[in-house]
Amino acid sequence: MDVAIIIGSDSDWSVMKKAVAFLREFDISVEVTVASAHRTPDRVINFIRNCHAQDVKIFIAAAGMAAHLAGVVAANTTRPVIGVPINSEPFKGMDALLSTVQMPPGIPVATMAVNGAKNAAIFAAEILALQNDNLKNKLAKYRAEMAAEVERKAETVKLDFLKGAD
Ligand code: RP5
């Protein structure tokens, strides 16, 4: 197994399924579970142990509010942990962002943007690509397609601009 995703609640799934979609598109093996650092701390630890047994290479941990899930995952593995703060009321994800990104020295979490599920998957792919040329080529193609899309958008806006559209 390449990547394990831990979400703090099923309410995080609608955001995090975008990470799963990207990883599957790139043929990266992934599994997902719900485990909460504060509601089910033993479940988090047991899942991480099980992932180690399956040689999971990267963890992605996503939680909202001040749940500290990614930090707890990072405390229990030396494999890379990517954190995704989830947007929620009343602080719009700022609480989750700070609880994920502001890890004290010694136990790092690579923190993405609030709701940054897709970038978490891309970042995981980039780490795996260090030892996988096929994946490296796929990522290069993905970037080239994004660049081509910007060129198409630029052309569309330019044509509209020249027509004097408001
Ligand atoms: C966090 O609390 C979860 O990650 C979720 O984002 C948030 C709210 O959880 P639910 O009340 O929706 O289960 O632990």
pLDDT tens string 70-128 = 999 999 999 999 999 999 999 999 999 999 999 999 999 999 999 999 999 999 999 99
Mean pLDDT, the chain, rounded, equals 97
pTM of the model: 0.96
Q: What's the CA-to-centroid distance between 64 and ligand 1, angstroms? A: 6
Assign 166 a pLDDT band (cuts: 50, 70, 90). low
Cβ partners under 8 Å of residue 38, min gap 6: 67, 68
> Which amino acid would we find at residue 150?
V
pLDDT of residue 111: 98
Report cis status (omega within 30 of 0) of the bond before 90.
yes
Cβ partners under 8 Å of residue 81, min gap 6: 58, 59, 60, 61, 70, 73, 74, 108, 109, 110
Percent of the chain past pLDDT 70, that is, above it, reads 99
Task: State the pairing for strand pair 3-7/30-34.
Answer: parallel
Asked whether the CA dihedral 37, 42, 45, 47 is positive or negative, the reply is: negative
Q: Are 35 and 47 in contact (CB under 8 A)?
A: yes
Q: What's the CA-to-centroid distance between 150 and ligand 1, angstroms? A: 36
Q: Are 86 and 15 in contact (CB under 8 A)?
A: yes
pLDDT of residue 116: 98
Residue 111, SS3 per DSSP? strand
Q: Ligand 1 site: residues with CB under 6 angstroms?
A: 8-9, 11-12, 36, 63-65, 67, 86, 88
Q: Are 37 and 74 in contact (CB under 8 A)?
A: no
Percent of the chain past pLDDT 90, that is, above it, reads 98
Residue 66, pLDDT above cutoff 80: yes
pLDDT of residue 165: 64
